[in-house]
Amino acid sequence: MNPQSIVTVLGLILTLTGQTQPATAPLTPPAKIILDVDLAEDVDDAGALATLHALANLGEAEILGILISSKNEWVGPCADAINTWYGRPDLPIGYQRGLQFGYRNVKDSARETPSQYAERVARAFPHDLKRSSDAPDAALLCRRLLAAQPDRSVTLVTVGFLTNLRDLLDSRPDEHSPLDGEALVKQKVRVWVCMGGIFPAGRFPDGQGEYNLMWDTGASVRAVNDWPTPVVFSGFAIGAAIKVGARLRETPEANPVRGCYQHYNGLQNREAWDQTAVLCAVRGVSSYWKLSEPGFCLMHARVSQGWNEWIPTSQKEHRYLVEFMPPKEVGKVIEDLMLAPPRVGNR
Ligand SMILES: [Ca+2]
């Protein structure tokens, strides 16, 4: 990439994220991050948590809280075990309720999400959250976290379902903010980075939509179509080209992220969908990717099988990642972060 290209790409992401610095200035670290995971059917969420903790240990990210979008009582404890390993045992965790505001189609979000590793990791590694539903409602926690931050300063990252973001948009004024959900998001969030969608096609050749957007289709329609800030999508193909995880065997057996991969696939490599969203949220597109032209990611409702349509337009601030650096090289960056030890003194 020549220097002019770097400046152009940096300028795009700065524009996109509402930064007020000149377009040539780097993003001012640390990035304030709220990460929403499902941490259930697939294991890349565990890799995403590891990547985020490592970036926080480098001073590049400040983790405000972790939200959980899957329905599974062991996912909260599993996330807490990973946070505890990284020396952040009291990091706020919020759990999806889906019924909080009482008027939604609960058909999708009421589904249990199975996990091959969450219970086993939760039982084997130190933590203190006993079950997911002991954690506060994710959308209400998110309101509290957002209200305490400067305007347009928070990056929301979702690597699971959009149940919590729908609930956040639908939330009412409370003791933390007199603003309703949409107004609060517009005031506090600078960008939402979403692992989800298929770009630009919108569907796989068999007609299916992407898993994260499809799972709770009603929530995805509300969150994606109505989100009031810029959005960057890391679509299916970006993370599908990157495979990491096997090298976690180089880390201690006391590492719960290693435990997740161990129980999921015997410590084999796995696609890095979720890690790409975290890396982009903290470092911007950097030299890893390029950004698409602006457009509107229109989410279509088809019961439990929603899909996204990409409509190019300068009227909306949605963009998606486009491959630039060879995926293997991006994978090395992610892998090195996933293998980084917890902070000295914590272990
Ligand atoms: Ca996920």
Task: Concatenate the DSSP letters of all residues of 273-339 into one string.
Answer: HHHHHHHHHHH-STTTEEEPPPEEEEEEP-TT--EEEEEE-TTS-EEEEEE-S-HHHHHHHHHHHHH
Q: Which residues on adjacent β-strands are paired with residue 319?
A: 232
Task: Say how many Å lie between the CA of residue 103 and the centre of ligand 1.
Answer: 26
Domain ranges of the chain: 3-339
Q: What is the pLDDT at residue 344? A: 61
Please name the helix (run of DSSP H) or strand (run of DSSP E) that holds residue 221, with its range, or none. Answer: helix 217-226
Under a CB-based contact definition with an 8 Å cutoff, are residues 188 and 232 in contact?
A: no
Task: Say how many Å lie between the CA of residue 23 and the centre of ligand 1.
Answer: 32
Q: What is the pLDDT at residue 347? A: 44
Rounded to an integer, what distance in angstroms lies between the CA atom of residue 191 and that of residue 198?
Answer: 19
What's the predicted TM-score (pTM) here? 0.91
Rounded to an integer, what distance in angstroms lies between the CA atom of residue 78 and that of residue 116?
Answer: 12
Under a CB-based contact definition with an 8 Å cutoff, are residues 270 and 43 in contact?
A: yes
- Spans in the chain with pLDDT lower than 50: 1-26, 100-105, 346-347
CATH architecture of the domain with residue range 3-339: Alpha-Beta Complex (3.90)
- Phi and psi at residue 253, to the nearest 5°: -65, -15
Q: What is the pLDDT at residue 125? A: 98
Q: What is the pLDDT at residue 28? A: 74
Task: Say how many Å lie between the CA of residue 37 and the centre of ligand 1.
Answer: 6
Task: Say how many Å lie between the CA of residue 345 and the centre of ligand 1.
Answer: 30
Task: Say how many Å lie between the CA of residue 15 and the centre of ligand 1.
Answer: 28
Task: Say how many Å lie between the CA of residue 240 and the centre of ligand 1.
Answer: 13
State the amino acid at position 289 in one-letter form: W
Residue 322 half-sphere exposure toward CB, CA atoms < 13 A: 8
Q: What is the pLDDT at residue 109? A: 54
Strands (E), the chain: 31-37, 61-68, 93-95, 154-158, 189-195, 231-234, 243-244, 270-271, 289-291, 295-300, 307-312, 318-323
Task: Say how many Å lie between the CA of residue 21 and the centre of ligand 1.
Answer: 32
State the amino acid at position 238 in one-letter form: I
**Which residues touch 65 (CB under 8 Å, ≥6 apart)?**
34, 35, 91, 92, 93, 94, 141, 142, 145
Segment 282-323, tens digit of pLDDT: 999 999 999 999 999 999 987 667 899 999 999 999 999 999
Task: Say how many Å lie between the CA of residue 44 and the centre of ligand 1.
Answer: 6
| CA dihedral for 35, 232, 182, 38, sign (positive or negative) | negative
